[in-house]
Amino acid sequence: MQHYPASVAELAVRQYAPLCVRVGLDWCVQELWGNPGHYGYAGLQQGGDLRDAELAFHGFEFEPDESEHHWPFLATPSGMSAHCCVQAVDDCYVVTWFEADREHAETQKIQQVANEVRILSYRRNQLMVQLQEAQETLAKQEQELRLANRQQARFISGVSHEFRTPLSSILGYSQRLRREAPLGEPIGGLDVIERNALHLLGLVENLLDHGLLTSGQLQLSPSSVNVQALLADVQQMIGHVAEARGLAFRVVCADNVPAHVWVDEMRLRQVLINLLDNAIKYTKKGAVDLSLAWAGNHIHIEVSDTGPGITAELQERIFVPFSRVGEHDGNGVGLGLSIVRQLVQRMGGRLELKSRLGVGTKFDIHLPAAPVRGEASRVDTRVEQPVVVLAEDDPDLADLLSVYLEDAGLMVLRVESARALLEVAVTSRPHLVLVDKNLSGMGTGFKAIAGLRDEGYQGPVIACSADEPAEAAESALSVGADMFFSKPLDCRATVAACLRLLGVEE
């Protein structure tokens, strides 16, 4: 075997600082080449036991037929990394170390990254699994929630229906009794009946709305709304209440407010009445004002009072459901303002409250509302005695409505079934049809409206129902009704609507 040139041997020594030790089979050092101190074996010398300097050789034995053994990247006592090789040569062992610090550092750098990537990858996969499980749980909970919401909505709708139908009769007949009573003669207990029935109705309405708003099931039914008519109604409703409390009530509408706007009339009315009713309740003297302005397809509504004002602490609490604050909260359950704010938000608007103690409170509402142009009457105003078909299977309510309609100069044809309604519509060509949703069967009244439209009937149709109002209204309008009233019916408002649709002056 040829020896390497001396320069190569020098290069190898410079690059790898080899240390070579020949030991006997008892690991006693016989001969040394290189610098033991470089690897931390400074005390190593001839006659010494290699195993005392390097722990790695404790327990080491060659296997049969083995003459060479390698330990790559062995950390030596000096902290240096070395490749170590043991060779069995004749009756001794030759142990050689080659410095591998640089190689160790490079390998360590690569391995570190690889290991960290694998651990992070594992953690990411675990998180993905957890995320998937969380998503599945959420989906399941959402499904359960939806089911619960549907059950809640059905329950609320059912309860609402059960309350509204008898309240319809109670309020209607009490109004009739009042109307028929001799002028100025008090009727014992009638005020109490009306007040309590209205109170009960208010509670039912609020609970219903709260349920629908919190379950996200409240549907809006926007339509063309006559702003002045709405303000007149509100003024009529609120004016006498304010007057009874010795308060001034002023309604101001800016000239640029469109005559008709596209909003949910029932919900807008509800917001106004709730705020005004509240303002009157808390204001002992002075005035309550309602003003409307218009800017950029938004109605700006302002309800202000000269009441005691609301402390900063209470300004947020008053919007929390079921929170009753203040001394004059009456008999409510603390839902009014919560519903107002939710309704405004649901309609895409915003509500702001400004209040100063001892000065008063102001609610500002900015509500998006597209203007409606070209609103015109659909009916022939030259009819002498308009004919109205009243499709209502509740005889008490049918009696009551008939009286109001006839008093308004209308001819009433009463039917109790959908089939009868379609027959009368064909034979009598009525000027207006007033239909209850359920005529001897669920939804039969609304199906009859669709039937009327299919038959080509073009006159106005008013639908009514004791079911949940938003859903029923949407359903009614979708089958061809022009207007919807929720039960309990306000008989006077219903008749007024009939006359308005017929183009007849009240």
Residues that bind other proteins (CB under 8 A): 55-56, 58-61, 63, 69-75, 81, 104, 107-108, 111-112, 115-116, 118-119, 122
Judged by CB, which is closer to other proteins: 72, or 480?
Answer: 72
> Measured from the CB of residue 101, what is the shortest distance to other proteins in angstroms?
11
What six digits make up the tokens of 449? 């409206």
Judged by CB, which is closer to other proteins: 110, or 312?
Answer: 110
Kindly provide the residue ranges of all beta strands, DSSP E only, lying in 223-337, ordered along the sequence: 223-226, 248-253, 260-263, 287-295, 298-305
- Whether the link from the prior residue into 488 is cis, omega within 30° of 0, is yes
Round to whole Å and give the CA distance between 144 and 152: 12
Judged by CB, which is closer to other proteins: 75, or 145?
Answer: 75
Contact 361, 289 (CB under 8 A): no
Judged by CB, which is closer to other proteins: 80, or 193?
Answer: 80
Judged by CB, which is closer to other proteins: 68, or 144?
Answer: 68
Judged by CB, which is closer to other proteins: 104, or 431?
Answer: 104
> Measured from the CB of residue 57, what is the shortest distance to other proteins in angstroms?
8
Contacts of 352 (CB under 8 A, 6+ apart): 363, 364, 365
Residue with tokens 């470089």: 38
Contact 391, 434 (CB under 8 A): yes
Round to whole Å and give the CA distance between 304 and 288: 6
> Measured from the CB of residue 320, what is the shortest distance to other proteins in angstroms?
36
Judged by CB, which is closer to other proteins: 119, or 254?
Answer: 119
> Measured from the CB of residue 295, what is the shortest distance to other proteins in angstroms?
56
User: At 133, is the secondary structure helix, strand, or coil?
Assistant: helix
Round to whole Å and give the CA distance between 222 and 464: 17
> Measured from the CB of residue 113, what is the shortest distance to other proteins in angstroms?
9
Convert 55-67 into a string of H (helix), E (strand) and C (coil): HHHCCCCCCCCCC
